[in-house]
């Protein structure tokens, strides 16, 4: 489906879907690996690796064998990107995806995995706040020194 045809059909672009992954995703395989790479910031190699290790379900292919990603794939990539941004190890991301594939019966396990990770993220944020306070203090010290050393006019 061309970009113009997608717009005419009321479908969101690859970038729009990745930036705002809300609602029920369109499952039509229509985004090329290049479009997904540009929208997500992931290389084509990384996208293929995510598929190979199971973070992404097998991606549909065009008649010529080229990968075609759906909005659902983009929703998952956006979520995985957030998890990576928080420092979640790939092994934990894979565990989450495997649990999700098992369906509703694993909801509690998925919640527990996310709760534990949230606590780790909160600790990282606290550590960063403390580090920021030290940096601010040092900057204030240097600003004071520079102000004392500045020539008067």
- CA–CA separation, 127 vs 40, rounded Å? 28
Give the model's pLDDT for residue 9: 54
8 A C-beta contact, residue 83 and residue 118: no
Q: What is the pLDDT of residues 111-122, one digit of tens each?
A: 999 999 999 999
Residue 106, Cβ density class (10 Å: 0-12 exposed, 13-18 middle, ≥19 buried): middle
Give the predicted TM-score (pTM) of the model: 0.78
């Amino acid at each position: 489906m061309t970009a113009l045809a997608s717009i005419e059909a009321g479908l969101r672009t690859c970038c729009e879907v990745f930036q705002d992954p809300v609602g029920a995703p369109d499952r039509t395989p229509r985004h090329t690996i290049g479009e997904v790479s540009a929208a997500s910031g992931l290389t084509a190699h990384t996208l293929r690796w995510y598929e190979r290790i199971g973070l992404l379900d097998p991606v549909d292919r065009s008649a010529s064998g080229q990968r075609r990603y759906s909005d659902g794939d983009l929703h998952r990539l956006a979520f995985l990107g957030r998890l990576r941004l928080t420092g979640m190890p790939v092994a934990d991301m894979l565990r989450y995806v495997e649990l999700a594939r098992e369906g509703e019966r694993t909801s509690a396990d998925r919640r527990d995995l996310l709760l534990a990770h949230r606590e780790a993220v909160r600790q990282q944020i606290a550590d960063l706040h403390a580090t920021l306070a030290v940096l601010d203090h040092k900057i204030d010290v240097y600003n004071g020194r520079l102000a004392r050393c500045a020539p008067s006019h």
